[in-house]
Amino acid sequence: MDNLTGFRALGLSDMTIKALEAKGFEEPTEIQRLAIPLLLQEGTEIVGQAQTGTGKTAAFALPIIETIEGGTDRTEALILVPTRELASQVSEEISSLKGEKRIEVTPIYGGASMEQQLRKLKRGVNIIVGTPGRVLDHIRRGSMKLEDLQFLVLDEADEMLDMGFIEDIEQVLRAVPNSKRMLMFSATMPKEIMKLAESFMKSPQIIRTQKQDTAAISTDQIYYEVRESDKLEALTRIIDRESDFYGVVFCRTKNQCDEIGTKLCDRGYDAAALHGDLSQREREAILKKMKEHQISILVATDVAARGLDIQDLTHVINYTIPSDPEIYIHRIGRTGRAGKNGTAITFITPSEARKLTYISKASRAEIRKEEIPGAEEIIQGKKDRIKSQLADALSREANQDYQDLARDLLIDRDPESAFASLLAFFYRNELDISQYRKIEAIVPKAKKGHKERREESRNKGPYDKVKAPSMDEEGFTRLFIARGRRDGLTKGMLCNIIMDHAGVRDQDIGDIEVLEDCSFISAPFSIAEKILRSYSDRNHKGKPIITRAKEQKKPTMRKEAVRNRKRRRNWEDDFQPYGRDTRPGEDGSFSFPERKSRAKAKPRKRR
């Protein structure tokens, strides 16, 4: 046990040290060094800030295990978490840390059998790990007895607030004894967290780890500039370049998740999609396969991946750029844990360069640019891996039976040709370079000088400055949307909504124009028909929200000047980060905002 002197110095017992040694722990993390000694003191409450993957679970679980009595039918600790997956993971982690101490731990969450949970609670559970909604259900039923509660923990508190659990949490807090000790752990510290602490905690101690977590330090962060249509090809090359790729690919929408997951499976990869449309049983089955390495690629939305904790991920791929720096940090925090190296890769289109710069500066991350590996490089890498694998196999001595079999097979055969035939049979199309299609290089546009821009502007007419919503121009259909800026719509929001409901791709939607009361987009004929069909029953005053645009006359010079003057130009309008401001549902879906009422101005009285 000498190699666990760091944990022993925190005040943990020999039994707990033995359990930590069995799990392979070596040195405590920063949050563990700060939290454990405080929590071993009687009555101390804490609010702890630490990023995902820094050992928060052990930071509160070990002192709870040390403090509670166990071996009884009383519930002595309640831990609230935001998701079902996290409830299962935290429950399993605590069970593995308790060692030989008689402590009963169980997860309680919605979507699981209520009858089974009632039976467990009736028998007696010492530590309950649950989601706020289902815990509140049991409290109301009277099936969860909390009069002997010593600890109440809010884990991932900021996530629970983001998911709208604040009212459920407050009701749970009012239902537990005042004598309990309350602990809160969160990756960020918004005002709502501190208000909660002020309302329900008694002089809590605030502990914070360094801003930059260990995952960010040990994660190699890279970005590739690529066209939307080439992203899948770039993804497959990155996967094929690695000998042991094991990662999560983040997409913006459920439809995109399904599309990428299906295409990867069609190409022979062990992949699965995880999003809000799946049942709890399907989600658990996919996560079980991922943890058991039956699949190596998980394609997920941010909503579906909340609370996701899969160990030893080699890669996190941002197939679509995150909407803000916090989401970026949470995503890349899923690799490079526990001192292991990981790789975070972000795909951006040329128009998203400013968005990446903003994320890089706000998150203080060094994200370097690299070129997408060429097909020849991928094939050479595969050859090197095959040689290495076979060299290892050939170094092993074969018994007489195999030698006799080899001698029989090589009668009347050239050994080199026979070996090549075996390689072709077992590795099939692994070295077929034609499976990789060409990725066109992105040539940066030459910047125009001040004189060129002024001359170009002088030669433009007023109608050239704003594209009119024309129809069926050069193979495209112009569509009209009965929502605009006054309804809270932005370009990014409009693109998200249509992609989610119509199942089209980002590159299928172009020439987006958001005006005060309405909007316009252009799409190829077949895509436009698909969009129109998907919104044929979404009525606005008896008409669909999206229709074909009518031909529009060119505006007069005066009208154009007024229109340009009223037009808002800001970063949000043209470079809107997709996702957060689009008001997604709990399942990650997007929808048009309700039309806001238009109050009629009262006529002014003449004096």
Domain membership of residue 253 (yes or no) is: yes
- Of 375, 398, 417, at which residue does a domain stop? 375
What share of the chain has pLDDT > 90, as a percent? 26
Domain membership of residue 393 (yes or no) is: no
pLDDT tens-digit map of 203-235: 899 998 765 444 445 688 999 999 888 999 999
Q: Are residues 238 and 294 in the same domain?
A: yes
Which residue type occupies 382? K
Distance CA 502, CA 512 (A): 16
Cβ-in-10-Å burial (0-12, 13-18, 19+) of 571 comes to exposed
The pLDDT score that the predictor gives to residue 296 is: 93
Domain membership of residue 418 (yes or no) is: no
* pLDDT at 40 exceeding the cut of 70: yes
> For 334, phi and psi rounded to 5 degrees?
-85, -5
- Of 208, 242, 275, at which residue does a domain stop? 208
Q: What's the number of domains the chain is made of?
A: 3
pTM flag (> 0.85)? no
Q: Are residues 124 and 236 in the same domain?
A: no
* pLDDT at 577 exceeding the cut of 50: no
- Give the mean pLDDT of 415-436: 83
Domain membership of residue 604 (yes or no) is: no
131: confidence class by pLDDT, cuts 50, 70, 90: very high
Of 53-62, 243-252, 448-457, 595-604, which one has max mean pLDDT? 243-252
By residue range, what is the domain housing residue 284? Answer: 214-375
* pLDDT at 456 exceeding the cut of 80: no
- Give the mean pLDDT of 462-486: 62
- Give the mean pLDDT of 300-307: 75
Q: 298-312 b/e with 16+ CB inside 10 Å = b?
A: bbbbbbbbbbbbbee
Sign of the alpha-carbon dihedral angle for 467, 469, 473, 478: positive
Provide CB contacts within 8 A for 489, sequence distance 6+. Answer: 481, 483, 514, 519, 592, 593
The pLDDT score that the predictor gives to residue 376 is: 87
How far CA 452 is from CA of 443, 449, 455, 456, 564, in Å, comes to 20, 5, 5, 6, 22
How far CA 549 is from CA of 469, 481, 504, 546, 563, in Å, comes to 7, 9, 19, 9, 19
Q: Are residues 176 and 241 in the same domain?
A: no
Distance CA 50, CA 208 (A): 6
Q: How does the average pLDDT of the chain come out, rounded? A: 80
- Of 351, 375, 399, at which residue does a domain stop? 375
Domain membership of residue 396 (yes or no) is: no
Distance CA 157, CA 174 (A): 17
Distance CA 60, CA 596 (A): 47
Q: Are residues 156 and 263 in the same domain?
A: no
Of 343, 326, 329, nearest in space to 219 by CA:
343
Q: Are residues 330 and 191 in the same domain?
A: no
Of 24-28, 273-277, 428-432, 458-462, the one with minimum mean pLDDT is 458-462
Domain membership of residue 404 (yes or no) is: no
Distance CA 327, CA 359 (A): 10
Strands (E), 179-314: 181-186, 205-208, 219-225, 247-250, 271-274, 297-300
340: confidence class by pLDDT, cuts 50, 70, 90: low
> For 473, phi and psi rounded to 5 degrees?
-100, 120
Strand arrangement, sheet containing 519-524: 510-514, 519-524, 476-481, 546-548
The pLDDT score that the predictor gives to residue 268 is: 86
Q: Are residues 204 and 228 in the same domain?
A: no
Q: Are residues 202 and 305 in the same domain?
A: no
The pLDDT score that the predictor gives to residue 86 is: 82
**Residue bearing the bigger pLDDT, 561 or 236:** 236
The pLDDT score that the predictor gives to residue 213 is: 45
> For 520, phi and psi rounded to 5 degrees?
-135, 145
Which residue type occupies 76? E
Q: Supply the CATH number for residue 570's domain.
A: 3.30.70.330
Q: Which stretches of 98-212 are DSSP H helices?
A: 114-123, 132-141, 157-162, 166-175, 191-200
Of 420, 426, 387, 424, nearest in space to 243 by CA:
387
Crossing angle of helices 491-502/254-266, nearest 10°? 50
Distance CA 9, CA 189 (A): 29
pLDDT tens-digit map of 154-167: 998 888 887 788 88
Of 65-69, 324-328, 447-451, the one with minimum mean pLDDT is 447-451
* pLDDT at 20 exceeding the cut of 60: yes
How far CA 464 is from CA of 38, 150, 378, 559, in Å, comes to 68, 71, 46, 14
Q: Are residues 192 and 298 in the same domain?
A: no
Q: Are residues 171 and 226 in the same domain?
A: no
Domain membership of residue 118 (yes or no) is: yes
* pLDDT at 339 exceeding the cut of 80: no
364: confidence class by pLDDT, cuts 50, 70, 90: confident
Q: Are residues 242 and 183 in the same domain?
A: no
Sign of the alpha-carbon dihedral angle for 572, 574, 580, 585: positive
**Residue bearing the bigger pLDDT, 182 or 562:** 182
Q: Supply the CATH number for residue 140's domain.
A: 3.40.50.300
Can you give the C-alpha Rg of the chain in angstroms? Answer: 29
Q: Are residues 183 and 242 in the same domain?
A: no
Cβ proximity of 552 and 457 under 8 Å? no
* pLDDT at 453 exceeding the cut of 70: no
pLDDT tens-digit map of 519-543: 999 888 878 888 888 887 756 566 7
pLDDT tens-digit map of 502-512: 878 777 788 88
Domain membership of residue 448 (yes or no) is: no
The pLDDT score that the predictor gives to residue 346 is: 94
The pLDDT score that the predictor gives to residue 310 is: 78
Q: Which stretches of 466-555 are DSSP H helices?
A: 491-502, 525-534
Q: Are residues 276 and 291 in the same domain?
A: yes
Cβ proximity of 25 and 307 under 8 Å? no
**Helix then strand then coil, % of the chain, to nearest 5:** 45, 15, 40
Q: 443-480 b/e with 16+ CB inside 10 Å = b?
A: eeeeeeeeeeeeeeeeeeebeeeeebbbbeeeebbbbb
